[in-house]
Amino acid sequence: MISDYRCFFCFARAFEKLITRHGFSVEEGNLFTHEMISLFFKKWGSLTMPEFSREMHYILRRHSGNPDPYSTEKKFSNDQALEMVPELMEIIGNSPDKFSTALRIAIAGNIVDFAANDDFNLKETVNKALSSDLAIDHSTELRNRIRKAGQVLYLGDNAGEIVFDRLFIENIGHGDLTFAVRGGPAINDVTMDDAIYTGMTEAAGVISTGYDAPSVIPEKSSETFRELFRKADVIISKGQGNLEGLIQLNDDRIFFLLMAKCETVAEYLKVPRGSKVVVNPQLME
C-alpha cells in the first residue's frame, strides 16, 4: 500500500477547499472534519487511499447534497483539452515516432488532477513532456507487448486527461482495445459521460468498472469488468490513483503511465516529484 501520514494532510487540504466552496458553516465544517478524522482513525491500514477518498466523498455528498462536487472542473478540463486537439494532432503527425510522442502527451495529461493539485498549466506540461526524458521508461516493452496482444485494457483516470488518452489510443491502433471509466462520480475522474463527451466512445470500446472509487479495485468492480481485466493481455494504467489500487497485484501485464505528483508516490517509485514514468514494476526487479 502506498500511503503514510502525509496522505491525511493532503486529504485535509483538499476537503478544506471543498468545505469552503460549498459554503459550510463553522458548525458543519466541524462536524465534517470530525467524521473525516474518525474515518481515518478507524480505517487506517485497511483501506487504500483511493478507497478512503471514496468514503470521504460519500460523507461530503451527504453534508452538501451535491452528488458530483467536481462537475464544473470536469467540464472545464474536457473543453480545455479538446481545444488543444488540432495542435496536438499536428505535433503527433509530424513526429518520426508517433507512438512515443502520443504516449508522452497522454502522460502529460495526467497533470489534470484536482485532488492532488488544482493549479497547473496544461500546455506547459505538454511541452515539457515532449522535451524531457521519462524518469522510468519501459515504453519499448509496452510497445512490443501491445503488438503481440490479443486484448488491451486501458484504465482511464481524469477528465481532460481522457482527451490525451484518446489521441494515444488512436495512434496505438489496436483492434481490440477497451477503455475503462469509473462507475460513478469520483473526484474529477472519468465517467461514461466524459467518454461520450470527449469522443472516446468513437476511438475505443468503453466499459465502466462498476465501482465509484478514484482507482480500479478489481475485487470491488463488476463481474463484467473483472472478466475483461482477467482476459486482457496488456493493461495500461493511467495515474496515481490506479497505481495505488493495483500496485500490490504484482501483475506483469500492467504498465503504469503517470506523473509522480506527490512525495509519497515519488519516493515509492524512487524518482523526483513531478517525474513522468512508464513503469512495469516487474521490469525493475
Report the pLDDT value the prediction gives residue 258, as an integer from 0 to 100: 95
Per-residue pLDDT of 173-227, as tens digits, reads 999 999 999 999 999 999 999 999 999 999 999 999 999 999 999 999 999 999 9
Relative orientation angle of helices 5-21 and 49-64, to the nearest 10 degrees: 20
Do both 79 and 150 map to the same domain? Answer: yes
Do both 13 and 132 map to the same domain? Answer: no
Whether the Cβ atoms of residue 128 and residue 108 lie closer than 8 Å to each other: yes
d(CA 27, CA 62): 15
Of the residues 26, 42, 64, the one at which a domain ends: 64
Unique residue bearing C-alpha cell 522510468: 136
pLDDT at 5 over 90: no
| 3-state SS, residue 156 | coil
Do both 171 and 268 map to the same domain? Answer: yes
Do both 204 and 270 map to the same domain? Answer: yes
Per-residue pLDDT of 17-40, as tens digits, reads 888 888 899 999 999 999 999 998
Of the residues 64, 79, 95, the one at which a domain ends: 64
Q: Are strands 136-137 and 152-155 parallel, antiparallel or unpaired?
A: unpaired
d(CA 126, CA 105): 6
- Count of structural domains, the chain: 2
Question: What CATH number is given to the structural domain containing 231?
Answer: 3.40.50.10880
Low-confidence winner among 2-11, 16-25, 48-57 (lowest mean pLDDT): 2-11
d(CA 212, CA 215): 8
Q: pLDDT grade, residue 58 (50/70/90)?
A: very high
pLDDT at 282 over 70: yes
Do both 37 and 142 map to the same domain? Answer: no
Do both 256 and 135 map to the same domain? Answer: yes
Per-residue pLDDT of 117-176, as tens digits, reads 555 677 777 777 787 889 999 999 999 999 999 999 999 999 999 999 999 999 999 999
Do both 176 and 236 map to the same domain? Answer: yes
Distances (CA, A) of 200 to 8, 102, 168, 170, 194: 34, 15, 11, 10, 8
Q: The whole model's pTM is what?
A: 0.93
What's the domain range around 103?
Answer: 71-284
